[in-house]
Chains A and B, each alone.
Chain A
Amino acid sequence: MGCGMGKSEVRAALLIQRWYRQYVARLEMRRRCTWNIFQSIEYAGEQDQIKRPLPSISGFHAGSLISHIFRVNEICRDAEWERYFCYESIEVPDSYTGPRLTFPMTFCGVSKVVQAFKHKQQLHARYVLQLLRETWRLLRILTNISHVSTCHTKEITICGDLHGHLEDLLLIFYKNGLPSSEKPYVFNGDFVDRGKNSLEILLILFGFLLVYPNDVHLNRGNHEDHIVNLRYGFTKEVLGKYRVHGKKILNLLQKIFSWLPLATVIDHKVLIVHGGISATTDLNAIARVDRHKYVSALRPPNMLMQYVYYIIYTSPLSSVLTMTDSSTQIVDVLWSDPMPQNGCIPNEVRGGGCYWGPDVTEEVLGRHNLQLLIRSHECKQDGYEFCHNRRVLTIFSASNYYEMGSNRGAYIRMGPDLVPHFIQYQASQACRELTLRQSVGWTERSALRALREQLFVHKSDLISAFQEFDPNNTGKISLSHWASATESVLKLGLPWRVLRPQLVSSTQYGMVDYQMWIRELSITEPKLQISDTSILETMYKNHSNLETIFRVIDTDHSGSISFEEFRQTWRLLCSHLKTEISDEAIADLAHSIDFNKDGSIDINEFMEAFRLVDLSAHA
């Protein structure tokens, strides 16, 4: 080879570079759209918001089940709680190969726990209860706001949402070191829900808290709330892992969550809270509240009614709830999100807290003489993001949150100069080996599937909207009309024109055959023979609520319920949705779902039965 390249090689290289950069950019565009899909679906809630007044409930059997589960929570005196934590009678058999703990907790002990979880072992219920009791005792004496200083040139590590992603926590410990007095940590809430190792994460964090109470700081997140847990998977996880003691563990955690501190302040200059602030946020007021009285954001006047209301309706916070000043302060700090525009408006998407603007940031930080607000609560593609002129910093530590390859996680290291330094990562070996194309493809398939489900759920509204653009009933409308009709129904703010190639295959000369398209969306597993197909739409609309109700009714956590219980559930749902569904249709459905014909319905099979076939898998 000569020392210089000939002209033809240079031209060839230029061409290939140009081609490849275009290819990568196309993928990046798809990634961005996929991201938008996940975000908009997550924040818009999974179904339509149903805002109707709660009708009276009479002769309703689920009520007794619910109060049975929650009766224990009326114990509020400490002595009784101490007895309730009683674990001494629980024997640990010789056959148990997991870690055996002694208390007070030591560094050795918690390291053993970390190692055990790394090797997928389970901690015995006795040790879980013991650990939780010690944690509760400690949390009770902590103040609402933890004050931390960076003197002695200590660098502090700040982590955001973990959501049960044990891999990410272990990765952080691997890269950054375990917590210790030389290595203080702040964990900013949302330790649980969604991921499959929420309990392991809690036990590890509580363990380190017990060993280094002055150097490990936990802030409460909006998911440290037992009612939210019912919906987003933590309750299910605990009951699945601890069949005998699960309920007790959950009741104790409910108490513990209410005792978690609400905020951390570093050097009187950096405020760390899970959600954010509102125009009325007042740290002095927050410091004075009895935080443990706020067990759940959904604390109702009447626990039973509120619980049912929550299950049936999608909005996590009810308008029935009467908010006091103290509860507003807490809810704001746990649920709010920043927005680019000035002002402070209610956060209707989340159902609680507010959206706050850069002017509110300046005012609140100024009033408290603070220079930076660090919060979490929202997933960010690179694991972190600044806004409001770099006065607000979002940190999110659960990588691959939506799907493998969707985003990186990150944590912050901060020294006495209070300048944040970021370390990003992406858990999962397999994920790192994926090419850009594969990881975009994977995430995209998942997002598109979620989107198709949304479209299917709204199919009647979509057809009506399309027909408005098709007065002559030709069955076809233009692409622009398709895009604006779809947006008017779904209101997700997505770039439909850009997504079109992935969603609509049947176009010709710029026109969409919308009837055919809707038919294509409706293809489901041909498992169910049902006389009334409108049931399907209602099912999909209430997909996650159904699961929650089933799990409550399945009191022995066996994973299946009787036909009669199924019928009752369905009746309850329909009466609140003011939908007419005949007993016959429900019976039909129940029988067709009973795949093994044993007279009971397996919850998992039921939920599986309603997954839409992924059309792209056949493309």
Chain B
Amino acid sequence: MAGRKQSADVHQKIRAAFDAFDYEANSTVDVREIGTIIYSLGCFPSQKDLHDFIAKVEEDHTGYIHLDKFLPAMTKVLQEHKFPPISEDLLLQAFEALDKEKKDYLDPEELTKYMTQEGEPFTQEEMEEMLTALADHRNQIHYKDVVSQMTIKPDK
């Protein structure tokens, strides 16, 4: 009983997020918006995770995703906690791993090097945005402050 109500709730949540990007009111969204939708539902997929997910739900390379395919796939993701959030601690540890000199902050050049050359690299635009958001007036990224300010609490 509770399980059924819960999944109705989950469906509604997914539908609501999907609808925000359904511009033509025909239950489809542009594939490029799927990342935003999934993230907004509280998930933290990597780019590879996103690629795999999209491959499963896209309508044959039309560039569109239909709610019929998205809804069950996304429900499964949420119920199985497939892309769990990153805790503040883990995030802090990550920043500390990059702060070789243990100065408690990163210089823009340092951060840029890591973000644009490693892992799933940022585009120049993404990098500029990040620097504008994270660097303080001394042009330093004090990651401890940043992390606590910017961690969004998940919805109840």
Chain A residues with CB under 8 Å of chain B are 1, 5, 8-26, 28-29, 32-33, 36, 340, 435-437, 479-480, 483, 495-498, 500-501, 507, 510
Band of interface residues on B: 35 or more
Q: How far is the CA of A20 from the CA of B119 in the complex (A)?
A: 13
**CB-defined contacts of A500 to chain B, threshold 8 Å:** 155
Chain A interface mostly? helix
7 sample A-B contacts, Cβ–Cβ < 8 Å, listed by A number:
A17-B119, A17-B122, A21-B47, A25-B39, A437-B150, A497-B12, A501-B155
Contact residues, B111-130 vs A (CB, 8 A): 114-115, 117-122, 126, 129-130
**CB-defined contacts of A11 to chain B, threshold 8 Å:** 94, 97
Q: How far is the CA of A158 from the CA of B37 in the complex (A)?
A: 35
The reply to whether the CB of B64 lies closer than 8 angstroms to some CB of chain A is no
The reply to whether the CB of B9 lies closer than 8 angstroms to some CB of chain A is yes
Q: How far is the CA of A450 from the CA of B152 in the complex (A)?
A: 24
Q: Report which of B21, B26, B97 forms a contact with A8, defined as CB distance below 8 A.
A: B97
**CB-defined contacts of A437 to chain B, threshold 8 Å:** 133, 150
**CB-defined contacts of A16 to chain B, threshold 8 Å:** 91, 94-95, 98, 114-115
Contact A12 B45 (CB under 8 A): no
**CB-defined contacts of A436 to chain B, threshold 8 Å:** 129, 132-133
Contact B26 A340 (CB under 8 A): yes
Contact A9 B118 (CB under 8 A): yes
**Residues A435 and B132 in contact in the complex (CB < 8 Å), given A12-B94, A25-B40, A498-B16:** yes
**Residues A495 and B16 in contact in the complex (CB < 8 Å), given A8-B97, A21-B35, A340-B25:** yes
Contact B46 A14 (CB under 8 A): yes
Q: How far is the CA of A25 from the CA of B37 in the complex (A)?
A: 8
Q: How far is the CA of A26 from the CA of B93 in the complex (A)?
A: 23
**Residues A13 and B98 in contact in the complex (CB < 8 Å), given A18-B46, A19-B44, A21-B39:** yes
Contact B40 A13 (CB under 8 A): no
Contact B16 A497 (CB under 8 A): yes
**CB-defined contacts of B1 to chain A, threshold 8 Å:** none
> B87-118 toward A: CB 8 Å interface, digit per residue (1/0)?
00011011101101000000000000011011
Q: How far is the CA of A436 from the CA of B36 in the complex (A)?
A: 15
Contact A19 B156 (CB under 8 A): no
> B14-52 toward A: CB 8 Å interface, digit per residue (1/0)?
001101110011100000000111111001111100000
Q: Report which of A17, A29, A32 forms a contact with B120, defined as CB distance below 8 A.
A: A17
The 7 closest A-B pairs by CB, nearest first: A25-B39, A14-B119, A29-B40, A12-B94, A13-B119, A497-B16, A12-B97
Q: How far is the CA of A241 from the CA of B38 in the complex (A)?
A: 51
Contact B86 A18 (CB under 8 A): yes
CB distance from B156 to the nearest CB of A (A): 6
Q: Report which of B25, B97, B115, B152 forms a contact with A26, defined as CB distance below 8 A.
A: B152
Q: How far is the CA of A13 from the CA of B46 in the complex (A)?
A: 12
CB distance from A538 to the nearest CB of B (A): 33
Contact B17 A29 (CB under 8 A): yes
Q: How far is the CA of A14 from the CA of B95 in the complex (A)?
A: 11
CB distance from B106 to the nearest CB of A (A): 10
Q: A17-B121, A18-B86, A26-B40 are in contact. List 13 more A-B contacts (CB 8 A).
A: A5-B114, A12-B94, A16-B115, A17-B120, A19-B86, A25-B36, A26-B39, A28-B36, A28-B40, A436-B133, A495-B20, A498-B20, A510-B156
Contact A14 B120 (CB under 8 A): yes
CB distance from A154 to the nearest CB of B (A): 34
Q: How far is the CA of A25 from the CA of B156 in the complex (A)?
A: 19
**Residues A18 and B44 in contact in the complex (CB < 8 Å), given A28-B36, A501-B155:** yes
Contact A12 B98 (CB under 8 A): yes
Q: How far is the CA of A18 from the CA of B35 in the complex (A)?
A: 11
Contact residues, B43-72 vs A (CB, 8 A): 43-47
Q: Which residue of chain B is the closest to A340 with respect to CB atoms? A: B24
Contact B114 A9 (CB under 8 A): yes
The reply to whether the CB of B13 lies closer than 8 angstroms to some CB of chain A is yes
Q: Report which of B100, B119, B132 forms a contact with A10, defined as CB distance below 8 A.
A: B119
**Residues A15 and B90 in contact in the complex (CB < 8 Å), given A20-B130, A21-B39:** yes
**Residues A33 and B114 in contact in the complex (CB < 8 Å), given A15-B94, A436-B133:** no
**CB-defined contacts of B118 to chain A, threshold 8 Å:** 5, 9-10, 13-14
> B133-149 toward A: CB 8 Å interface, digit per residue (1/0)?
10000000000000000
Contact B98 A9 (CB under 8 A): yes
Q: Which residue of chain B is the closest to A479 with respect to CB atoms? A: B9
CB distance from A356 to the nearest CB of B (A): 15
**CB-defined contacts of A497 to chain B, threshold 8 Å:** 12-13, 16
**Residues A495 and B17 in contact in the complex (CB < 8 Å), given A15-B90, A25-B40:** yes
Contact A36 B20 (CB under 8 A): yes
Q: How far is the CA of A483 from the CA of B117 in the complex (A)?
A: 45
Interface centre among A8, A15, A437 (most CB of B within 10 A): A15
**CB-defined contacts of A5 to chain B, threshold 8 Å:** 114, 117-118
**CB-defined contacts of A36 to chain B, threshold 8 Å:** 20
**CB-defined contacts of B45 to chain A, threshold 8 Å:** 18
CB distance from A130 to the nearest CB of B (A): 48
**Residues A9 and B97 in contact in the complex (CB < 8 Å), given A18-B45, A495-B16:** yes
Q: How far is the CA of A182 from the CA of B129 in the complex (A)?
A: 38
Contact B20 A29 (CB under 8 A): yes
